[in-house]
Structure 1
Amino acid sequence: MHSSTVLTRRRAIAGAAGLYALPFGWGPAAAQGKGEPDQLDRILRSRVLRVAVPQEFPPFGFTRNGVVDGFDIAVARMLAGDLRVTLKIQPVASGDRLAALLEDRVDLIIASLGKTAEREREIDFSTAYAPTYMGIFGDASAGPADLAALKGRRVGVVRGSLEETELKAQAPQATAVAFDSSAPMLDAYVRRSIDAFAAGNVVAESIPDAAMRERIKRVAVLRQSPCYIGVRKREPRLLARVDEFLAHARSSQALMVNAMHWFKHSVSPEMFKDTKG
């Protein structure tokens, strides 16, 4: 690929996130081989990309003034722009993400999706696009920061999330309180109906209320939990095309700029190196 084409494509990816007002410069890949159309063929022929995004999980996805927005939605826009197709987003609850993909309601999952052995048996995963970790967060004046301090405490989790699974496995002495999304969970924390909450670090770091953020400390790290794009099994061309897009989005720094916008706090460029995993 010529250097001018690469530059145009990088600008196109960034443009889809609102970083540049430039037309897209890289057309869809031609179908390879013969036989039945695969998912990538169907997307390119219909010129529509259907993506499951977070329903109410700021900063990854949320509704503001009637418009769905957030980090994952921006990534979905960039990918649709790179494919030169129309984006059709479907906000879903955390527990409905895999079902939406497996039931062919969407083509991809871009919804703060973590990778587990159980999920890998059902779907395939792209390279990581948002290296994050899961933690438990609570009041900075609540004493020592460790899992033992959670004994008898009420800890909020999003129902069906990896945080819920990890909390129950690593801190069974805590009382897990499940919510349908992060917004009511954080509201319950503000009202002190729960003592702490389990979430991705960027969720805690992006709480709009600055005073509330200052009162929060990390009690424990549950696990490193990068975000991946979910793809149905036996769709190697679509998976390769998604990974190709992510490689360009990383090298153009479009992912980095997107993260700096939505995650608020300083993000190390090392997080967005073009690595597998």
Structure 2
Amino acid sequence: MENVRERLLKALFDTRAIRVCPAGEPFWYTSGKIGPYYINTHFLYGGEEKANSLLKVIDGVKDNKEECTGVLREIVMKNYNEDDIYRNTIDILVDAIKDTIPDDDYDYISGGERRDWFFSIAAADLLQKPHITIFKDLDAYVFQNGRSERLISVNGARVLHIADLITSASSYERAWIPAIRNAGGVMKHSFVIIDRMQGGSELLEKHGVKSNALVCIDDGVFREACRKNYINKGQLEMVKKYIENPDMFMKEFFKNNPDFIEKALNSGDEKTASRARLCIEKGYCNIS
């Protein structure tokens, strides 16, 4: 029988929630840097098409803050009952929370706009906890017993925040933690599907938040993926070099592939070209 890690890893690659580029063809990131993999955790909702469909729904309802959570709860729980991959992911998350955090050690579950809601709303429903829906402007609403009310005060209550992904935890520091603090609450725990191991958990610890994750992105994840034939050996070696030193990986790649920038600039794809221009402006490559 497959263990929990194997099941989740299979789901991540089956849905392309983790996507590794072919050897020698790194992705362009919005920062103007390059790297060998993308992570779209929300694809665990049942695939890219389903995930993008839910994002469209979110964009259509998030301005009606009082109704937002109720609409999304109905949709995600319907998908939970119908989609094996999503149900498996949520069940793994809920079981991990039960095994890690005592039920009496948190009073609310929170999730931040937008992708956290893919996981936080369903988990709150199954764990029978009120859900605090936090918006990017730090406004927040509590959903409980089918009703949603603006968050005013929680009188020192303890909160577990559920997120799809943690990188540097900038969203936590900018919005999620302050929103709970402004209501007199304490964010005591965080649980994410994926931790990119880029300093986020350490930052949360400084804010007094205990960080937990189902999957931590290190070379062990990709070695296992290679053993399972989700990626090949060439992709594995590329990812290992990147994880060891992302900036050195980038510099060496540009040195060994001097025409990569030029091809991006002339690709005809404005998104790719703009990221290549940003790369030059930021000095990530030695091209002027």
Select the structure that is richer in strand. 1
- Give the TM-score range, shorter chain: 0.3 to 0.5
TM-score (structure 2 length as normaliser) = 0.32
- Pick 1 or 2: higher relative contact order, CA cutoff 8 A, min separation 6: 1
Select the structure that is richer in helix. 2
TM-score (structure 1 length as normaliser) = 0.33
